[in-house]
A and B are shown apart, each in its own frame.
Chain A
Amino acid sequence: MADYKPLSRKAMAERIARDIPEGWYVNLGIGIPTLVADAIPTEKEIFLHSENGVLGFGPAPDPEHIDPWLINAGKQHVTLRPGGSFFHHADSFAMIRGGHLDLCILGAFEVSAGGDIANWATSAQDSAPAVGGAMDLAAGARRVWVATEHTTREGAPKLVETCSYPLTAPAVVSRIYTNLAVLDVEDNRFVVREMVPGLSRDALQAMTAAPVFFEEKEYA
């Protein structure tokens, strides 16, 4: 095996947080995306949105200052930053569906080279899947980024030519942050912008079930 170290979930969240410009309104999905909330420096004004009716929430509170009325969509306790606001569910999804969010970061079971995302059901026969707000977010946010491990625990690629799981939305993902690389979805291709040190192009390709192209680029 080549000598490289995949990013931890925390390091992935920190990597993503660096790329979110000040002033954006951002929704974080459940899983690795949630960790991004704790990785945004307090001096950077980014407004985090949660489906259950809060804009401008901040990191988890310390245990003595938990406010039971203040949770995020993952039902975890959060805090409110100055300038934060509360609203009801229909307004919350007006923000989502109406294209007001600059960015939504979602976890995924699979992402295709065309930007399709599957993140809610593991088969069409999954009789009681839980969709939550994922389809509204995927269809409504101005940009959809995915944060995921590059492969499943069993080593199966999650970046694929065509999704085999039921779609959350077609052709919406523009960027993917994995524990191994940062990739853009461009013209129905995965374009690698960045890899963890020590990882070879061949090794990354072997863990990706669609051709990957390499065009390094610094994000502003």
Chain B
Amino acid sequence: MINKQVGTTAEALSGIADGSVVMIGGFGSVGQPDALIEALIEQGARDLTVVANNAGAGRVGLAKLLDAGRVRRIICSYPRSSGSVVFEDLFRAGLLELEIVPQGTLAERIRAAGAGIAGFYTPTTVGTILAKGKETREFSGRLYVLEQALGADVALIQAWRTDRIGNCVYRETGRNFNAVMATAARTTIVQTCGMTEVGGLDPEAIVTPGIFVHRVVHIPDGEAAAPAHLKKEEV
């Protein structure tokens, strides 16, 4: 019997090596796998490269991981936002490398890695300083910039409902980067708000089929973030 569910976040994150590339899903706080980030801080891996849309806010979650000095490099589209004090301090002090990637290029680089595509040409960044040093090529009279796939060792994902096979559905805008990152890592670890029986998810509605998922941990605390009328609802 396949069972990808593990009992604790510590088990879920076991074996992450120093120097790993770690993708973290979410957009702002929505869909961000907070319990897995906390567990990554506990787990102790260092010298990490983090791929995420944002660079954390306040002193919790990703900001706390940065604050603990465990991240060497961050690849993101929007590092500076309200409350991104930890990022800004570390960056200014030269303690954190930053690669700025337009949001759609970031999503597509991740998608490409998950789909076995080495690179692609995009019109985004043509004529801007972010295209510097990159191959530009004309197709049908329009210029495009070559971008390369971006895969990871580990992806940390938050889902809404998951079964022991690893099939996932997401909640509203909580899907964001999660569904794409789930495809692009050698080890995809899901923090899910609720477990269902195998067969309990509508096959037509599954967004991330279990083939992409390696470990699942149930964090019912995630339910706290759900609106009251959804908490009792079954999928």
Name A's B-contacting residues (CB within 8 A): 50-54, 66-71, 73, 75, 80, 86-90, 92-93, 96-97, 121, 124, 127-136, 139-140, 166-170
Contacts and interface: CB of A to CB of B under 8 A. Distances in A.
Given A52-B176, A90-B107, A169 B128 contact: yes
Nearest to A75: B28
Please list the 3 inter-chain residue pairs (A to B) with the smallest Cβ-Cβ separation, ordered nearest first: A93-B104, A136-B104, A88-B179
A133 B106 CA distance: 10
A130 B53 CA distance: 10
B126 A86 contact: no
Contact of B124 (A67, A140, A167): A140
A124 B28 contact: no
A88 B77 contact: no
Contacts of B227: 66-69
B127 A54 contact: no
B124 A90 contact: no
Nearest to B225: A68
Contacts, number: 149
Nearest to B103: A133
Given A90-B108, A93-B108, A97-B122, A71 B102 contact: no
Interface of B: 27-31, 53, 77-81, 87-88, 91, 98, 100-105, 107-108, 110-111, 122-130, 170-180, 207, 225-227
B110 A90 contact: yes
A24 B100 CA distance: 31
A148 to B, nearest CB: 19
Nearest to A136: B104
Given A131-B130, A139-B124, A69 B80 contact: no
A62 B192 CA distance: 28
A172 to B, nearest CB: 10
Nearest to A135: B102
